């Protein structure tokens, strides 16, 4: 009987955890000077570990970096500061 009660409560808890709202996400696209693969590697190695960053795509030809982040954990300003720290100041192109 205890086992049945435990399994029922566990199933109910799993349902509510699954039904909880997903974290909010923002998208920003930065224009940044990218001269070579070394620049791409530098961005990937340093920016990828910023708190709240969920996804990053770098387009060397267009010299853009596309970021998806959790706005409850980081901000556009903090991300810009991270780029400045590695010597890659950015200009915001689009924010969705």
Q: What is the pLDDT of residues 7-40, one digit of tens each?
A: 566 665 666 655 445 678 999 999 999 999 999 9
CATH code for the part of the protein at 22-95? 3.30.70.100
Q: What is the pLDDT of residues 67-95, one digit of tens each?
A: 999 999 999 999 999 999 999 999 988 55
| Alpha carbon 93 to its chain's center | 17
Q: Residue 60: what are its φ and ψ, rounded to 5°?
A: -65, -40
- Can you give the residue ranges of every domain in the chain? 22-95
Decide: 53 and 47 in contact? Cβ < 8 Å. Answer: yes
Using CA atoms, how far residue 10 sits from 3, 13, 19, in Å, is 10, 5, 14
The Cα 7–Cα 26 span in angstroms is: 38
């Amino acid at each position: 009987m205890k086992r049945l009660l435990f399994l029922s409560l566990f199933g109910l808890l799993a349902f509510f955890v699954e039904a909880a709202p997903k974290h909010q996400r923002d998208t920003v696209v930065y224009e940044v000077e990218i001269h070579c693969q070394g620049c791409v590697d530098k961005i990937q190695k340093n920016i990828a570990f910023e708190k709240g960053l969920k996804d990053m795509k770098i387009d060397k030809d267009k010299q853009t970096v596309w970021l998806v982040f959790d706005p409850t954990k980081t901000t556009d300003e903090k991300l810009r500061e991270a780029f400045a720290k590695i010597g890659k100041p950015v200009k915001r192109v689009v924010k969705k």
